[in-house]
Amino acid sequence: MSNRLGRVATVEDHDSSPSTSLLVQSSKGATYLILLQVGSRALTFIVNQILLRFLSPELLGVSTQLELYSISVLFFARESLRVTLQRQEDTLPVDDTKGNQDRSQPKSQGNLAQEVVNLSYLAIALGVPLAALFAALYIRNADSLVLGTPSIRSSLYLYCLATVLELFSEPCFAVMQQQMLYGVRASAETIATFTRCLLTCGTVVWASNANIAAGALPFAVGQMGYAVVLNFVYLSRLDIFNARKPYSLLIKPITPSSPALIYGRFSVPRLNLAFTIYAQSIFKHLLTTGDSFLIAAFTSLESQGAYTLAANYGGLVARMVFQPIEEISRSLFGRLLHQPASSADNARVRVET
C-alpha cells in the first residue's frame, strides 16, 4: 500500500559505532585496572609480611603518617583536575570578526590532547607549594616520638621530593586517560609498584644486616623509586604515540584561538568546573582519610601501625574491584554525555512513506 504512513522498515544497530567502541575500551580498561589493583595489593601483602620481620610497629606508624602526607598533597593537587579532564569537550568557540558569537568548531584529537596536557600542569603548580606547606606543618605539629625517629627529616624531605616528582607525570597521565590507554597506564604503575616494593624491602634488609637505624627512610626510598620509574615508563611509552598525535607534553598554545581559552592555552569552562570540584574534594578527602587523621592525632605509633595493616587488609575488595569500576564509569559517562547525537551512534530507523 502506497499510502501507508510511518511504517518502520528497518532497525540497524551499528556495532562499530563510537559508543560501542567506548564501551569495549572501558571494559578492557576496567579489566586492566582490576588486574593492576590485584597485583599491587598482592605485592603490598608480601612486602608487609617481610617488613614485619625487620621493623617495629612504631616505624610502621611513622611510615603511615608519611604516606598520609603524600596522599594528601597528591589529592589536593590533582584530584579535581583529574575529574575535570575526564569530561570530553568536543567543540570550541572560535573568534568571529563578523560578530557572530555562536560559531564553534569540532576539536581535533591533537587539540583535545594538548588541552588536557596544558591543564595538567596546574597540578604541578599547586603541588609544589602544598608539598612544602604540608611538610612544614608536619614537622611543626609532630610529637617528640615521631621527631625522635632516626632519619625522620630526611625521610620527610625525600617523600616531599618524590611526591612532587610524581606530579610531574600528570601530563602523561592526562594523555593516557584522554586516549583511553589503560593498558599502558597499568603496565607503568605495575612496574613502578614492583620497584617501590623491591627498593623498600632491599633497603630494610640492608640496613638490618648493617646494623643501621634507617627509621622510615626505606619507605621514602621506595616512594622515590616509584615516582622515578613511573615517569620513565610513561615518557618512554608516550614517545611511541607522539609521532601519530599532533600534541606536545609541554604547555603549548591551542589553535585556532578562542575566547574560551586563557592565553590560548587553558580552557575556561574546565577551569570553572575544576574550582567547583575542588571545593567538593576537600570534604571527600576528609571522609576518605578522616579515620587516618584521627588515628594519627589521638593514638600511639604502635596503634597506628597495627591499624594500617588491618585497614589495608579490610579494604582489599573495595580497592581491587569497586575503585577501578568507579574510575572507568566516571570516564565513560563523561565521554558519552558530551558525544554528539548522530545516526552513527544510535540504532538507525528508516521510516518509509
pLDDT tens digit sequence for 81-110: 988 887 766 555 554 444 444 455 556 667
Helix, strand, coil percentages in the chain from 3-state DSSP, rounded to 5: 70, 5, 25
Q: Is the predicted pLDDT of residue 239 greater than 80, yes or no?
A: no
d(CA 177, CA 140) in angstroms, rounded, equals 38
Place 54 in a pLDDT band, splitting at 50, 70 and 90: confident
Please give the Cα distance from 18 to 230 (Å, whole number).
Answer: 31
- Rounded distance between C-alpha atoms, residue 276 and residue 288, angstroms: 19
Task: Give the cell for residue 174.
Answer: 592526562
Structure-model confidence comparison of residues 123 and 15, the more confident one: 123
The residue written with cell numbers 570540584 in the block is 277
Q: Is the peptide bond before 256 cis (omega within 30 degrees of 0)?
A: yes
Identity of the amino acid at 137:
L
Give the three cell numbers for residue 225: 623509586
pLDDT given for residue 5 in this prediction: 38
- Rounded to an integer, the average pLDDT of 325-352 is 56
Question: What confidence score (pLDDT) does residue 18 get?
Answer: 55
Q: What is the pLDDT of residues 12-52, one digit of tens each?
A: 344 445 556 666 666 676 677 777 777 777 777 788 778 87
Grade residue 342 by pLDDT with cuts at 50, 70 and 90. very low
Residue 236: the pLDDT is 87
Q: Which one is predicted more confidently, 208 or 49?
A: 208
User: Does pLDDT of 176 surpass 50?
Assistant: yes
Dmax (CA) for the chain in angstroms is 96
Q: What is the helix (H) or strand (E) element at residue 211, kind and residue range?
A: none
Model confidence pLDDT, tens digit, residues 263-318: 878 888 888 888 888 888 888 888 888 888 888 888 888 888 888 777 766 666 66
- Mean pLDDT over 151-155 rounds to 93
Residue 294 CA to residue 154 CA, distance in Å, equals 25
The CA-atom distances, in angstroms, between 311 and each of 164, 196, 318 are: 26, 20, 11
Q: Would you state the pLDDT for residue 315? A: 65
Task: Compute the average pLDDT of residues 160-180.
Answer: 91
Q: Which of 239-243, 261-265, 295-299, 324-328 is predicted with the least confidence, judged by mean pLDDT?
A: 239-243
How much is the pLDDT for 39?
76
| DSSP 8-state symbol, 108 | P
Torsion, Cα of 80, 83, 89, 94 (10° steps): 10
pLDDT at 334: 67
* Mean pLDDT score, 128-154: 93
The confidence score (pLDDT) of residue 86 equals 79
- Gap between the Cα atoms of 336 and 148, Å rounded: 53
Ramachandran assignment for 253, one of left (phi > 0), alpha (psi -120 to 50 degrees), beta (any other): beta
Higher pLDDT, 347 or 321: 321
* Banded pLDDT at 76 (limits 50, 70, 90): very high
Q: What percent of the chain has pLDDT over 70?
A: 74
What confidence score (pLDDT) does residue 6 get? 43
